[in-house]
Structure 1
Amino acid sequence: MSTIAAKWTTARSALTACEWRHVGGMLGTILTLHVLGWGIFIVAILPQHYKLLGLGVAVTAYTLGMRHAFDADHISAIDNTTRKLMAEGKRPLSTGFFFSLGHSTIVFCLGIGMTIAAKALIGQVSNTSSVLQSFGGLFGTLVSGFFLYMIAILNLVILIGIVKVFLEMRRGRYSDHELEHQLNQRGLMFRFFGKMMKSIHSPWQMYPVGVL
């Protein structure tokens, strides 16, 4: 018990009272969004669509979303920004929170848009011989494949750069600047929005990055 108490005391002293309030606010927001989301699903959606959209489908979608949260691209964007802000002498406790909030916003909006589009085009989409069905299937596959290959190639280039730095370190020619440069190139988002992300000076500015 004394060990647990000591660890708890250490954890409490690591943050100021104001920072603990911020952490509490973030946890409260996350809990509220969960209650609203699952509440709307159970009360308004499940009773009418239980045959097609049961609780099992919802839990599966939820767990897949949780897994998506740990995608390398997300982690690298949050990590790069956190290290940048810490290097500036700041304590960016909410970097990941605002990024995930922005990402959740765009996913929510896209979900609504897809629902409206599906209702408008349900006849053509359900018809396997329609032009829209054929074109949509081919186009979707090509776009998905293109982005997956592009991400793989970019990550391979980054990996090669980091391996080169590591080999130089093994030879005794360590370059902190070069290693930092290679780490900052991680992730598809940082490749395309690097300049914008370098201009971030506060965690809340990660919200629009998450939307992107």
Structure 2
Amino acid sequence: MTALRSMTTMYREREALPRRTRLAFTFGAVAFLHGAAVVILLTGLTGDGAQPLALGLVLTAYLAGIKHSYDWDHLAAIDNSTRRFVA
């Protein structure tokens, strides 16, 4: 239970950290997840069971996910949330 309490405390005190530190951790986490996806993809493509179709499917799914993050409904939700927080 102490691990959960310490994580809760860290979450509540995150605003005390400098903005640059918070941004660095956020972008670092995103970069780590992208790197992990590339490593998993390359691991799956090596060896005797590697199939060229898998690369095309994974690349298409990855790019569709990136495109989806910029859809109008996501941007509208972010805009509405920002308006509520600022007001």
Query: What is the match of residue 70 of structure 1?
Result: 70
Report the Cα offset of residue 63 of structure 1.
1.4
Indicate the residue corresponding to 1:25 in structure 2: 25
Letter in 1 for 2:84: K
Taking the TM superposition and a 5 Å limit, the aligned residue runs for 1:119-130 are none
Alignment partner, residue 151 of structure 1: none
User: Which residue identity is paired with 1:23?
Assistant: L
Q: CA deviation at 1:33?
A: 0.2
- What one-letter code is carried by the residue in structure 1 that aligns with 2:21? R
Q: Deviations over 1:38-93 (max 9, x none)?
A: 101111x2223424302x33222221111111111111111111111122xxxxxx
Q: Which has the higher contact order (CA 8 A, sep 6+)?
A: 1
Gaps of 5+ in 2: 1-16
1:40-189 → structure 2 map (5 Å cutoff):
40-43=40-43, 45-47=44-46, 48-54=49-55, 56-87=56-87
Supply the RMSD in Å over aligned alpha carbons: 1.7
SS at match of 2:27: helix
Residues 69 and 60 from structure 1, CA distance in 2 versus in 1: closer, same or farther, beyond 3 angstroms? Answer: same
Q: Output the CA distance in 1 between the equivalents of 2:78 and 2:65.
A: 17
TM-score w.r.t. the length of structure 2 is 0.68
Report the Cα distance in structure 2 between the residues aligned to 1:52 and 1:70, rounded to whole angstroms: 26
Distance in structure 1 (CA, Å) of the matches to 2:63 and 2:19: 29
Q: Distance in 2 between matches of 1:27 and 1:77?
A: 21
Instruction: Note the residue ranges of structure 1 that are not aligned, 5 or more in a row.
Output: 1-16, 88-212
* Residues paired across the two proteins, number: 69
The letter of the residue matching 1:52 is L
Q: Write the letter of the residue equivalent to 1:50.
A: Q
Q: Secondary structure at the match of 1:52?
A: helix
Give the structure with higher Rg (CA).
1
- Measure, in 2, the Cα distance between the counterparts of 1:75 and 1:39: 30
Q: Quote the offset at 1:34 in angstroms.
A: 0.5
Look up the SS of the partner of 2:64 in the other structure: helix
